[in-house]
Amino acid sequence: MKVLIVGGVAGGASAAARLRRLDEKAEIIMFERGEFISFANCGLPYYIGGKIAKKSALTVQTPERFRARFNVDVRIFTEVTSINKEEKTVTAKNLITGEEYTETYDKLILSMGAEPIKPKIKGIDSSRVFTLRNIPDTIRIKDYIDEKNPESAVVVGGGYIGVEMAENLKLAGLDVTIVELADHLIAPLDIDMAADVHRYVRDKGIKLILSNGVKEIEEAGKKLIIKLNTGEMEADMVIMSVGVRPETALAKDAGIEVNAIGSIVVNEYMETSEKDIYAVGDAVEVTNFVTGAKAFIPLAGPANKQGRIAADNICGIKSKYKGTQGSSVLKIFDMTVAMTGINERTARALGLNYDKVYNYTSSHATYYPGWTNMSIKTIFEKDTGKILGAQIVGFDGVDKRCDILATAIRAGMTGFDLAELELCYGPPFSSAKDPVNMIGFVIENTVKGLVKNVHWHDVESLPRDGSVTLLDVRSPAEVARGKIDGFINIPLESLRGNIDRLDKSKPVYVLCRSGQRSYIACRMLMGHGFDAYNLAGGYRLYESVINDR
């Protein structure tokens, strides 16, 4: 059997290694347009910022090591320019010599990945405007910083790579601004969870320009003038990071089915519309694991799995790819941002019968030094409590909790199941009631009707005409630091002795800092016959979102 693989990195390299482990006699040829067949794509920004000191550390496998270990014919600097699916051949071009030749195949795997989007704006081809996709891009940016000593940079786009680049340019000593067309950074986050990120990023000295886009870049001597939809600014260099799209011209030209955005259409076995041709990685359309909808979710983990699955099926092992749920994690200086499953915007757009809860909880036992709080938003089915998605922003233990929630989604678990999970406990690592258990408790209380929640976006519409009671159960000192107009203050510890002050015929809307004390207050009030509602996420969440500018 002769297998050709177009493209390396996550999908192609994984497929090649798995093929060799399953079939020692197969002839495997991997074509890679560039110099590197397997590199740490997600680590590229950290080389620019100096966190990764050696360029060699970015290379996972060299062509020489890959050949020696897996007996794969690796052909770097070689571009596959066309596919003849009837003859089962490809045309390849050696980019060093210019030589063109054809190669036959029994099976073909396409792993071309995704390419950075370059908007059609004037000035984008300036030598001081960069994109980041591979190691050569990284070296160009690093060399420019080392040789030209720029003082300022604008990062256009506030997604994963954009935010990571902003951090690392700041660490490299530059004055950095992020320009983002949307109203918040990191698109998979909801705006209420992004608010904490915005505040932290600004505190680290990075400027944010949100809900604004770049329409032109003009060279003005040693400076670039970045003209925005509203306003303009100067910088010494620009990083374009407005997203990626599947690089699939090769497949389209061969008549292989692609969708409206250009992703290669594959089935669960990673087979394309054409016999004996497979596709994997960022070039393919996937199924969203939670919603069942078709999607474009370019992530390294799924690409690796897809490469393995394609190899299995080529070798006669029936393996299925069961969908992508978008589990991801991002480091921003010392902050960690993680998410899995769907966000609220998606749930709302699909018309799902969903609800949401917020938890603000410590990373480990508070009596053990070093604990920090994390903010957690969980989306779930309103009637069953089934987990649909989660977002976590914090500093310690965020990735661990998001991984548990990702596993829960894959297993179809509910909030009731989270409440029952027996997780590892030790004061340096967690609390006896882990944050994941706490999510389960809150969902359980919500589904069972033990608490009725209102949310930060409901606060402004609450009546201030005396028809309802607005109650703040924080301490007077907390209230002095910030309050919401219309709320009267009765601290939780004093509430029982002051219940007679409240009118039982009026609904009571209760807030505290995080939603925990106000939940206790709601249960107390309900026990005395009141109709009580808890402000989920409390004043802390409300203030974070409302004051996000």
The H or E element containing residue 161 is helix 160-171
The contacts found for 483-487 with CB under 8 angstroms, 24 or more apart, are 483/539, 484/459, 484/511, 484/539, 484/542, 486/462, 487/511
d(CA 527, CA 374): 31
The Cα-based distances of 144 to 136, 226, 311 in angstroms read 12, 19, 40
Pairwise CA distance, residues 270 & 254, whole Å: 17
**Helix, strand, coil percent content, the chain, rounded in steps of 5:** 30, 30, 40
Going by C-beta distance under 8 Å and a sequence separation of 6 or more, which residues neighbour residue 432? Answer: 365, 425
Scan for tokens 């994941």, then name that residue: 436
Spell out the alpha helix ranges (H) of 398-434.
398-410, 415-420
Query: With contact defined as beta carbons under 8 Å apart, do 425 and 431 qualify?
Result: yes
From CA 420, how far away is CA 241, in angstroms rounded? 42
Q: Are 368 and 427 in contact (CB under 8 A)?
A: yes
Q: Rounded to 5 degrees, what are φ and ψ at 379?
A: -100, 135
Nearest to 249 by CA among 7, 4, 74: 7
Q: How far apart are CA 305 and CA 284, in angstroms?
A: 13
Check the CA dihedral 413-418-422-426 and report its sign: positive
CA distances from 243 to 19, 187, 204, 539 (A): 32, 10, 24, 34
Element (H, E) at 223: strand 223-228
Query: Which is the catalytic residue, given 42, 402, 424, 512?
Result: 42
Euclidean distance between CA atoms 456 and 538, whole angstroms: 8
Question: How far is residue 39's CA from residue 416's CA, in Å, rounded to a whole number?
Answer: 41
Judged on CB neighbours under 10 Å (0-12, 13-18, 19+), 400 is: buried
Residue 42 annotated as catalytic: yes
CA angle 301, 304, 308 (to 5 degrees): 140
- The structure tokens 């009671």 sit at 469
Extract the tokens encoding 444: 């359980």
Where in the sequence numbering do the catalytic residues fall?
42
